Amino acid sequence: MQVRLSPSIEHLIRSLQKLPGVGQKSAQRMALRLLGQRQQEAADIALAIGRALENVRPCSRCRNLCEDDVCQICADDSRDISALCVVASPLDLITIEHTGIFRGFYFVLQGLLSPIDGIGPDDIGLADLEKRLDSPGLDEIILATDSTVEGAATAHFIAELAQQRSIRLTTLAQGVPMGGQLGAVDSITLGHALSGRKPYA
Amino acid sequence: MQVRLSPSIEHLIRSLQKLPGVGQKSAQRMALRLLGQRQQEAADIALAIGRALENVRPCSRCRNLCEDDVCQICADDSRDISALCVVASPLDLITIEHTGIFRGFYFVLQGLLSPIDGIGPDDIGLADLEKRLDSPGLDEIILATDSTVEGAATAHFIAELAQQRSIRLTTLAQGVPMGGQLGAVDSITLGHALSGRKPYA
């Protein structure tokens, strides 16, 4: 039986469902909790969204999210200007930063190429990336797009841009994940891990 | 390695973590998605929260969330005034309404008694419930609080109020859940299901 909620609650539930990973049931639970005993938290969230929308903008160099003209990474003189890592979102950038391994700069695309959905090079900022490729001192581009059809298409497009400029291209290694049980790894990944095998150290 | 994000993004992530079921990683994913390619959705959510906080209030009869003086259920003349179902939150009310089985009225507490957390009868609205118990025509109270220590304590408190007024008290049946495999049911539940066994129809 469908229960009719008041219009404002229904509207809030529909809005919350737009959050990644939130379905109808979670959105309902969130909305009722916020309006029931958590009104202060609800007001905080609305305020935080408003403030972030006002203050946060893309970094003028790499398109990462920041509050100044350039982001903290681009403003960091100690980083290596010879390496540029191309990712599809600010979340991918942060995920790579968390490793602590990469000390170069980034370029953040606004998603991945997807001709089926009508998403072309201009929609994801590839023209800006092309300009960036002409900056002096750039020696290596690391293609860190998703391991999907769209990720591969985007990587292929960037590879052509880089090859025109004779910049070295690398991509993330594929293989067995840390802690992964061999029986649970899919055969394509395992195939990549086999052909990319390394001397046992 | 900990990556420092801009203050507005950090604030948004901390706020989103207050949503039920949202941890640090999900909050980060939500915040970056909202500020990256989903700015319109972000504005929608902030607006929906603001509008709901402004419009939604507790029903003056049952404390359910609504936008008028009384909620749709309390305003429904066709419902049975002899039965009152006591729940701990608007979500519990909706969950029971979804069954389509209950046609009486509700009383929505603001949570459950929890002396350990300093939550007493006045904090959850038991004084209002006591007044409600004196309304004419009331014949049965259904105790539909959680099957937890707090739920049992709250039910016990309400039972005493009802017994002083000689109102009939019932509670939800406990037993094996629909589709439940016997091997997966805990022994206390199975014990309740056994002692509450019914003729096979």
B34/A49 CB distance under 8 A: yes
pLDDT-wise least confident of A10-14, A122-126, B98-102, B191-195 = B191-195
Burial class of residue B28 in the structure, from the number of CB atoms within 10 Å of its CB (0-12 exposed, 13-18 middle, 19+ buried)? buried
How far is the CA of B7 from the CAs of A72, A75, A100, A127, B161, in angstroms?
A: 12, 16, 21, 30, 51
Residues 6+ apart with CB under 8 A from B100: A1
3 state SS of A36: helix
- In this prediction, what percent of chain A has a pLDDT beyond 90? 62
pLDDT at B2: 64
Q: What is the pLDDT of residues A28-76, one digit of tens each?
A: 999 998 998 788 889 999 999 999 999 999 999 999 999 999 999 999 9
| A5 interfacial to chain B (CB closer than 8 Å) | yes
The token pair at A69 is: 């003209």
Which residue, A60, A102, A138, A51, is CA-closest to B3? A102
**CA distance to partner chain B, nearest, from residue A76 (Å):** 13
> Band of the pLDDT at B64, cuts 50, 70, 90?
very high
**CB proximity B169 to A under 8 Å:** no
Q: What average pLDDT score do residues B136-165 get?
A: 92
Residues B4/B5/B11/B13 CA torsion (nearest 10 deg): -100
Domains and CATH numbers, chain A: 79-171 (3.40.1360.10)
**Residue with more model confidence, A181 or A19:** A19
Q: Confidence band (pLDDT; 50, 70, 90) for B1? A: low
Residue B187 pLDDT: 83
Chain B interface, mutation test: which of A8, A11, A39, A44, most B Cβ atoms within 10 Å?
Answer: A8
